[in-house]
Copies of this chain bind each other. A is one copy, B any other.
Amino acid sequence: MNAEFDFDFDFEKMGGLLPAVVQDFSDGEVLMVGFMNRQALERTLEKGYATFFSRTRQQLWMKGESSGNRLKVVSAHTDCDHDTLLLRVEVEGAGLVCHRGTRSCFTEAIPPRDPETTAPDPQEAR
């Protein structure tokens, strides 16, 4: 677990954690955001499946380990500041990432304040 990273990730900016955006590789849908400490990132890269650090439980968890909806990593990128991750994944199992039984966790639309500045969201009809 002491493997060297090719990047000098900035874990300090958020108390040892990096936000990790999880995007469906096949259609680009953003499924969830999790957080990774160094150990979670190392395990993710080693196993090829996304492992996060639970802020509430203060422990590592491999997403979908019990439900079967594991996130198989297709590609991993970091950003210009090296303080955020983007994982493109293939969702295994039933393909339902959210614990509420939906594909994505981002199911709740925030109403705009001024209708003129926003366009209808085509995903609302789902």
Count of A interface residues, CB-CB < 8 Å: 56
Interchain CB contact under 8 A, B28 and A29 = yes
**Contacting residues, chain B, for A45 (C-beta < 8 A):** 110, 112-113
Q: A residues near B, CB below 8 A?
A: 3, 5-7, 13-14, 19, 21, 23, 27-30, 32-33, 45-49, 55, 72-82, 84-86, 88, 98-100, 105-114, 116-119, 121, 123-124
Rounded to whole Å, the gap between the CB of A101 and the closest CB of chain B is 10
Question: Considering only CB atoms, which chain B residue lies closest to A28 in the complex?
Answer: B28
Asked whether B111 lies within 8 Å of A74 as measured between CB atoms, the reply is no
Nearest-CB residue, chain B, relative to A121 = B75
Smallest CB gap from A55: residue in B: B13
Q: CB distance A119 to B6 under 8 Å?
A: no
A2 to chain B, nearest CB (A): 13
Closest chain-B Cβ to A27's Cβ sits at a distance in Å of 7
- Give Cα distance in the complex from A33 to B107, angstroms: 19
